[in-house]
Amino acid sequence: MDVVDVITAKRDGNVLSDDAIDWVIDAYTKGAIAEEQMSALLMAIFFNGMSPQELNRWTAAMIESGERMSFDDIGKPTTDKHSTGGVGDKITLPLAPIVAACGAAVPQLSGRGLGHTGGTLDKLESIPGWRASISNADMRAQLRDVGAVICAAGAGLAPADRKLYALRDVTATIESIPLIASSIMSKKIAEGTSALVLDVKVGVGAFMKDVDRARELARTMVGLGSAHGVNTVALLTAMDTPLGLTAGNALEVAESVEVLAGGGPRDVVELTVALAREMLAACGLGSGKDPVDAVADGSAMDCWNAMIRAQGGDPTAALPVAPHRHEVVTSASGRIVRMDAMAVGVAAWRLGAGRARKEDPVSFGAGVQIHAKPGDVVTAGMPLFTLHADDEARFERALEVLTDAVDIADVAWAQPKLIIERVGA
């Protein structure tokens, strides 16, 4: 085939054939299509979209570019969760052991943070000794013995997506729903789980700012999962306000352990339990042990400890602590009615908790600790944030973005819904 013909067809709004899609993905993965040519095709897709058939085939071709894992022989139903990313979104950490303690196997392939959204692997790597990279054999053994694995995806899983994502990042084609959906779902389907729950974040601190666009993305991904034999559901959840009371790496690990111990912030507990119940229902264990009971009887904490130890970590070790702190106090009295999740996420990033480029290191102790959230009544001079950093010079830029992050007013206030909507097959 001729790649120029494929680009021209999509540029003119035509539907690409199955053969054309298979050839393009295979040829690009092998380096036979130039970056500028694939860039042109991505831009044509960005403007003209994809039909359901095109998108299903595009996703299938990305899956077929690498290995497809299977856990049919481990003796437990498998279920997984994916979040589109937010601020303070440490939900995977308590969620995986809770669901495993209820009888499922959770093969959670996670990533690292970039920009204002934190990465699950970065958080877990703040635990002394814990390693993100494990072999497929070790992953299978851990699923059988412990029930949960949180680790990095191997290089053999959907390699086409790895190349395409890097290209989309530098060609302004990230915000295409077909390309987002195929990127997420190709990896999750190749991962081999039988059921998947998607947490699609909506709001100022999320990738999707608009609920209609978020709903479209959720429906597209649910459709892709179902078309490829994965029982898939999605929850649209609010991300105008940070989740929980921390944004950082070690700070969020500590908060996750609080949840497993039966405490933790209300919103983190609510979302963790809701997603756990969805995951269990999706894999056929909805009538079994409830996630709340797994926390109460200590089995979820036992699973967390076993999961961390299985990957070389010490769950009893002290977590990293940043040497410098700066307290931000409220300037007025009244009720907090708004806290900008994006501002808090960017502040944590500027303090060293995140990265601007994939190769950048992160500070495990850096981040933002939140002392009051929307709905809370405060008086002038009360602590609002504590900033944590390895370098005091980082405080100035973090404070800049937090200047207008909070609104305080003397008005009535109603708690907005954390879970906005459920999207099923």
- Please list the active-site residues: 82, 161, 168, 183, 187
* Sign of the dihedral defined by the CA atoms of residues 212, 216, 222, 226, in that order: positive
Reading the block at residue 204, the tokens are 């100022």
Using alpha carbons only, what angle is made at residue 295 by residues 294 and 301, rounded to the nearest 5 degrees?
100
Strand ranges in 209-349 using DSSP code E only, listed in sequence order: 231-238, 246-248, 324-329, 334-339
Reading the block at residue 200, the tokens are 């699609």
Q: Which residue bears the tokens 């756990």?
A: 276
Report the C-alpha gap between 51 and 56 in whole angstroms. Answer: 9
| Cβ pair 242, 88 in contact under 8 A | yes
Tell me the C-alpha to C-alpha distance, in Å, between residue 76 and each of 100, 194, 233.
10, 11, 20
Say how far residue 228 (Cα) sits from the centre of its chain. 21
Report the C-alpha gap between 132 and 47 in whole angstroms. Answer: 37
Report the C-alpha gap between 44 and 67 in whole angstroms. Answer: 28
Report the C-alpha gap between 74 and 143 in whole angstroms. Answer: 7
Helix boundaries (H) for 330-386: 341-348
Length of the chain: 425
